[in-house]
Structure 1
């Protein structure tokens, strides 16, 4: 359906005790189409045995066409769950939940313990579906501006009317309460990316709280959790993070209301084994301190202010967020409407605090000090962990194989061939409803913006219905930054708003930011030029939001950060650097395909090279040193943008003007730029300042990163054309069509990877990728086959139209009021340029697609590079064209 719809979201989520099937679209016909398909897929799936083999698990010859190759486990979900548990954070979280609720459904892995998956049979799966995925066990949620009656009629006719009511018997019982605390220990694989290899232990104390259906108690405990752990003013941050005992809080931290009974967890990761008792003692002492001292009134106000902003801020996924927010409570028969009445909970909370100033301290005493249902779980690395996992899997495999007769083996081989044949066939999707390309709007709505200046700097004003919020952005150029400092920019961005500024130390600064803003962030920006591949802009983006009444306060905070940041607190910096390094290390197993694509792109364009330096694998093994003395290099503000309501715009402009005057004294004159870099201006967006790097030479490069997990993330990137080139639209359509019509089948269905495909990036790179993939060389070969398939032209007009629908779904995805008009400001892409691109997308033909595949993707036509993150690989080791990192 992704290729037959203009959906803005389509997926399915597995929680610990429910599955959610959400979709969204802005087109009413499409909504009805998707609803009919979702109702059919959820309540009347085919669940053929072949589907079970492909998606679940199967025994199959390593090479399905050769019966003499060894039998191995295969299956999409089997491989996915192996990938999931290669992430130590995820592994720890799973153990913690299983052991805190040991007596019923939460004691098992809802997504499937990898080595238990081969015990599941097709019959069990069908039986499970018949009882659990039944309308008697379902809840329906719709959000939007379409009339409700039509949805109800369709749900009744397509699903409910075809079933008799049953008792699915799926209530989750309460966890029997422990009379004394428990301790446990688990092991994991060592992390080669750990900031300090000698400190890889995790310890966490987890408490069982009340039933999530008690809305007000849940609200109070969630708020209490934030007061205890969020930000540098919280007691646990001061007690656990600042002494640098560990690198960060444990992967599970704070209030969790996703199970029938909520829990609260607190602990550390990245600590030494000998600190275990010390950390337990600190947690206990901190709870005593909170009971004795309570919380400052200003911190409680800051938190309530945060809730007010969250209620006013409009995101494009608001409906989906609401569905996720109520799902757990509603699933356990709580009242979802009551949960959504947040203002009532805030008023009741204020009243409770007024009547009893010790209200929160009493809760801490009840739920933490006197709570005997608490689990202390530690985790340490075991050098032989992966070896043991592989051995257990091998034993399981041998156990299955030894039970086979010759007839079974023959059957497995034949079924493997049958599956391969089915996977190689083009599926008949004619029964699925589809939109037509003619259903797509031919033009985009123009977002009116007003360009003016403040303090001599260009400012973009965009009037939007922002619900009483003001959104501010500013760019600081990095064009004069010396080359040797660029690796430090991401770290600089992550710490500059957390070190203190002006009269405020870092604790006071954090408090003021919570009280007066919706958050203040600084991030790196690499903006490829839309007209040429070797030009780009490098900048730092400042972003913040606030309620209209707090505008002067927000600008005062930025002014202090610009004029007098407190950059000399080395101890504070060490804490932030440590947390930043831990975050980077934890990110790879979630987003390995993004790291692989970024790495492959570094050798192809100067913007790709900088992307890798700012946010790729290069950041991983980079130890920060000289950083903050160069703050002045990064504070030349050279364009700003404000989105707010028409009523507030003139006030915002006045405030911005005075802010610009305050920071103007610090703006440096631009240094002359080295001769190899030429300033170029993009005509359509006058205030962009790009640099053309004449010294960059694209080159072929293949890089392999050996990682401590059993799955691969593979990418191959090809240098093609920039956004405004006439062939860019054809490459976008081709990437989408190759993904749906060829690569999905090769990489997921045949290869068993969790995902894979191709995408065309704004920086002119055409990238192939795979995600949680049991293969690497086979996948690279699939990428090449995909190019041959495209060149052969073996696709229909229907395939092209479907790819266009999928591309337009992304192009026309909804934009929140905060982000309207940001195309020209952030990337120099104006509405006029978007409209030209749109017209080229509509015009893409069969001939164009074959032509661009031949011209840009063919071997020898363009410079390309590859990257793999994955386990040790003998085949690639023997290939001298690969560089090992």
Structure 2
């Protein structure tokens, strides 16, 4: 019998009172809301059949300044606690747990500590460490200085401010789009917690004292302010028993009683002090504000208007979807076709930051000086026009389909789907509303759909209510400024001057020596053993393998391979129509990305792009393109498998896929439309391509620093194999410069070229892939023969056989003989990377190198790059299928030094004697990577990719068995082998333009 069947509302279990039992029909679950008598701890358990259980300790953490106390606390509570007095229990867990998710996150109004596992004993190990961390942390001064901020002194007695959070936030304040979003929120909530940077402003972080930081924990980390979210199939009694036995007595002894007036109250308990801080008064009059942001590639200002829309609910989601759900939506289209900007602003749509005073904002980025008022006028006049003319039935149906689809699709983007449900529960719970408030979105939207159907003026009235009759608004301009970094650097220099005058350097040196001794101290195996872990012998030696079925349909001139993935997709069908692109001449490769990005946005069959987009949005969830770039792994197993279908011209090639997803009851009309799209693509709308070009150029320029690690990875790997060179041409620095070399005058010629390229791609033949549940697959399979014939699909042609050297001439400033490259851009943070060969996949040696990288990430690299070096992160990883070993750092104050530390780490690993216990912990961590569940659509994609690149379930199983059998001697040999390989390394750095370097430099 389930807990909620035995204990009804008002009943008690171990001093937990049942507050409510909620039927979460939309998610096939039950929500159980409980409150503890003496401590005030609140629990919400979403109970279902999911074996991936998740917990999260959540606290309302409300900042009154931008000192970053909440963010530094988030980093620090997991740096040792009463029961687990290690330097880094979090890292220990990361490297010896079978976790499927492990994180900590700071938000403007709360801090969350979630973790998940598929194994119950491991789950409670995680909960034990996390509970002790949040309620009983050590919070030493050394932790504060390491994670938050400190004054550092180099060998020449030069001072600098360092700290992991400090350096992390420098990178955030280097991002134009992020600063734009922050300034919009500042404007809408000027007298609240939301106008402060909960992560910390690097110019303000040094104002935080150690004592104030400790007080922050005392104020906000009490059990009465804790919201414990649970999810999954572990029985509620078992979870409450664990908490009651392990933590309630300690909490009662350490924290004062909560004194909650009514234990059965449906609304959460919030003490008066926190409730007062939570208040978020709106503006009392309209304002126009102008700010500056870093000019990192921005082509002009962000110009936006925002209106308050009241409480967060599905009605506002619908309104935003109608107005701007896709590029053909009425407001999006008017703004984008105005030529007043290069793209929609990063804050377009519905913003649910505050439960009772949310806002909607619309505007443009890339607005030239002098056009700001024209944009403000356009936004308001566009809304008036849409109101006066009414919203078309197609736009309404498109919005309904989009929301219906999004509510049904289960994704795994930033962790398990349970994180999405946690976010929904916390959005009300944190602000004093029942956790269930936002946990019925499908049912709530059904009510909206009935109102839409019964009242033709419903949508029009929403526009009137929230925009036309809503005179209170904020106009916001964020200008890119070349002086932004200079101004911030100047203020940092003033701070250092102050420290020069006030600090005693002898005392500072002593304090730093204590910190560095703390950081460099190696904990003994006995100390580390305080955190329990599973044994390798307890791990299942077989995996839940992805199954695919291969068939064929007849095309125009022969057989077309079809790959079927049978997955529980909740009535959604995913279809890929893939064409090889490795026969396109290398000289044309850099032109492919923009063509591929615009393919389904230029219209088809003689119809305008907006008509086509609206038609698609009424029938499908989405249609778009993706690339699948890779090679056959250089292993005997892969070659043998590929040989079995060599005559099909499939294995080890690179592809473009035109991909669609739709609800199963729309299968027939969706396949008919997809056939029309693929076979009758249009290439004659120059105006539309100019818009897409501007959007892509703006995105590349404004997001370079945000994606710095990605650019380094693509650049570094491009010298090793053909697929990596293709990826650099498609997405790397080479593409950055190429797409920004296009001018709008070239658009007509580009369209002609794209038409010829597309026709050539279609002529190469195709392969089909479908992911759906069993019933839907049966329906799709019946319709595929007609689809293949109507689309004009052809059998696959052989690969042209281009080699790596054929792509080198088209890689930007490609000089294979240069072993070090530096990319300079305006930024307050740095990034570094090193690449060298590793052992091929499916060998005992490759498995050992993987285990070594796990150990390095949790020990030497963590200690040298993050703890001592102050970077936000440092890691390494082998890509055995490509035979490339990568070592990277990010948000790094000393990226050039990190390159030296990479080699130093390998050298120290060679001198180490690895114990059985250490290797076992790393094997367990590596095993966890293998068993992390994918969403149904992700399983389908993974299965298709394995088919394309000659990988079978037997090979995946073989890799797992090799991992489970790695020995300490294997790991030691791996360290020696990689150190030898590293002598042939390539080094890459992204840093600020002010940094000196004599060698190859690329200026962004």
**How does the TM-score come out when normalised to structure 1?**
0.91
Q: How does 1:177-192 map to 2 (within 5 A)?
A: 177-191=282-296
1:645 and 2:773 are equivalent in the alignment: yes
Q: What's the secondary structure of 1:139's corresponding residue? A: strand
637-646 or 474-483: bigger deviation: 637-646
Change (3 A) 1:46 1:587: same
Mean Cα displacement is larger for which, 834-843 or 463-472?
A: 463-472
Equivalent residue for 1:286?
A: 382
1:402-551 aligned at under 5 Å gives the runs 402-404=501-503, 406=504, 409-427=505-523, 428-455=527-554, 456-502=559-605, 504-531=607-634, 536-551=652-667
In structure 2, relative to structure 1, the CA distance for the partners of 1:391 and 1:677 (3 Å cut) is: closer
> Could you say if the C-alpha distance between residues 245 and 675 of structure 1 is closer, same or farther in structure 2, counting changes exceeding 3 Å?
closer
Q: Is 1:202 aligned to 2:302, yes or no?
A: yes
Question: What secondary structure is seen at the aligned counterpart in 2 of 1:22?
Answer: strand
* Equivalent residue, structure 1, for 2:143: 51
Query: Is the Cα–Cα contact under 8 Å of residues 744 and 756 in structure 1 kept in the other structure?
Result: yes
- State how far apart, in whole Å, the 2-side matches of 1:673 and 1:4 are: 46
Decide which of 238, 246, 260 is 2:333's aligned counterpart. Answer: 238
Of 853, 864, 867, the residue aligned with 2:988 is 867
Aligned-pair distance for 1:45? 1.1
Find the aligned partners of 1:37 and 1:860 in 2 and give their Cα distance: 37
**Post-superposition shift, 1:469?**
1.7
1:110 Cα deviation after fit = 0.9
What is aligned with 2:466? 367
Answer whether contact 1:603 1:700 (CA < 8 A) is retained.
no
C-alpha separation in 2, matches of 1:168 and 1:436: 48
Q: Distance in 1 between matches of 2:683 and 2:575?
A: 24
| Corresponding residue of 1:348 | 447
Match of 1:471, SS state, is strand
Question: Which is further off, 534-543 or 90-99?
Answer: 534-543
- Output the CA distance in 2 between the equivalents of 1:302 and 1:804: 48
- Is the Cα contact below 8 Å between 1:603 and 1:701 reproduced in 2? no
Q: Does 1:572 align with 2:572?
A: no
Q: Deviations over 1:435-466 (max 9, x none)?
A: 22223211123444322101211112232222
Alignment of 1:576-587 (within 5 A): 576-587=692-703
Deviation at 1:430, TM superposition (A): 2.3
Rounded Cα–Cα distance in structure 2 between residues aligned with 1:350 and 1:267: 28
Pick closer, same or farther for the CA change 1:131–1:158 going to 2, 3 Å.
Answer: farther
Aligned pair partner of 1:609 in 716, 721, 725 = 725
CA deviation digits over 1:119-170, x for unaligned, max 9?
Answer: 1011111111111111111212111122122112223333444133443721
Which residue of the partner structure matches residue 655 of structure 1?
783
Pairs within 5 Å for 1:126-165 = 126-161=214-249, 162-163=251-252, 164-165=256-257
- Does the CA contact (< 8 Å) of 1:205 and 1:377 recur in 2? yes
Q: Deviations over 1:696-734 (max 9, x none)?
A: 997553211101111111111112233234422122112
Match of residue 7, structure 1, among 91, 95, 99? 99
1:859 deviates by: 5.9
Q: Once structures 1 and 2 are overlaid, which stretch shifts more, 346-355 or 739-748?
A: 346-355
Name whichever of 813-822 and 128-137 sits farther off. Answer: 813-822
Check conservation: 1:787, 1:858, Cα contact below 8 A. Answer: no
Structure 2 CA distance for partners of 1:823 and 1:232, relative to 1, 3 Å? closer
Q: 1:458 to 1:10 in 2, by over 3 A?
A: same
1:591 aligned partner:
707
Residues 249 and 860 of structure 1, relative CA distance in 2, 3 Å threshold: closer
- The partner residue of 2:972 within 829, 847, 850 is 850
d(CA) in 2 for partners of 1:474 and 1:442? 35
Report Cα offsets for 1:581-636 as digits up to 9, x if no partner. 22223333333112112111111222221111111111111135634121112223
Q: Is the 8 A contact 2:844 2:966 kept in 1?
A: no
Q: CA deviation at 1:752?
A: 0.5
- Kept in 1, the 8 Å contact 2:912–2:972? The answer is yes
2:928 is paired with a residue of what secondary structure? helix
- Distance 1:114-1:373 versus aligned 2 partners, 3 A rule: farther
Write the deviation string for residues 829-875 of structure 1: whole angstroms up to 9, x where unpaired: 211110111111112222222223322432675x3212111103544
Residue 684 of structure 1: aligned partner: none
Q: Which runs of 5+ in 1 are unaligned?
A: 213-217, 679-695
Matched, 1:169 2:277: no
Equivalenced residues, count: 847
8 A Cα contact 2:722 2:803, kept in partner? no
User: How many angstroms apart in 1 are the aligned matches of 2:291 and 2:546?
Assistant: 55
Aligned residues of 1:593 and 1:771 also touching (Cα < 8 A): yes
SS at match of 2:800: coil
SS in 2 for 1:715: strand
SS of the residue aligned with 2:707?
A: helix
What do the CA deviations read for 1:607-666 (whole angstroms, capped 9, x no partner)?
2211111111111111356341211122234322222222232321121121111223x6
| Aligned residue in 1 for 2:12 | none
Q: Distance in 2 between matches of 1:582 and 1:829?
A: 38
The structural deviation recorded for 1:795 is 3.4
Contact 1:178 1:372 (C-alpha < 8 Å) held by counterparts? no
Partner of 2:54: none
1:691 is aligned to none
CA contact (8 A) 2:818 2:1000 kept: no
What CA distance in whole angstroms lies between the structure 2 residues aligned with 1:536 and 1:867? 28
How far off is 1:369 after superposition?
2.5
Contact 2:877 2:887 in 1 (8 A): yes
After TM superposition, give the deviation of residue 294 of structure 1 in Å. Answer: 2.6
User: CA–CA distance in 1 between the matches of 2:717 and 2:606?
Assistant: 44
Contact 1:600 1:702 in 2 (8 A): no
Asked whether 1:79 is paired with 2:167, we answer yes
Q: Which runs of 5+ in 2 are unaligned?
A: 1-92, 259-270, 640-650, 806-813
Q: 1:98 to 1:586 in 2, by over 3 A?
A: same
Q: CA 1:697/1:414 → structure 2, altered by over 3 Å: closer, same or farther?
A: closer
Residue-by-residue CA offset, 1:513-558 (whole Å, 9 max, x unaligned) = 2222221221122113212699952211233221111112222222
| 1:482-527 deviation line (CA, Å, top 9, x unaligned) | 1111112222221111111125432222123222222122112211
Aligned equivalent of 1:838: 960
Residues 794 and 373 of structure 1: is their aligned pair in 2 closer, same or farther, counting only changes over 3 Å?
Answer: farther
2:302–2:478 CA contact under 8 A, matched in 1:
yes
2:754 counterpart residue number: 628
Residue 842 to residue 290, structure 1, CA distance change in 2 (3 Å): same
1:34 corresponds to 2:126: yes
Contact 2:106 2:199 in 1 (8 A): yes
* Distance verdict in 2 for CA 1:718–1:371, change over 3 Å: same
C-alpha distance 596-672 of structure 1, shift in aligned 2 (>3 A):
closer
1:701 counterpart = 2:819: yes
Provide Cα deviations, 1:234-275, integer angstroms capped at 9, x if missing partner: 222222112232121112121111223211111111110121
Compute the displacement of 1:189 (Å).
2.4
Paired residue secondary structure (2:228): coil
Confirm or deny that 1:758 pairs with 2:876. yes
1:812 is matched with: 931
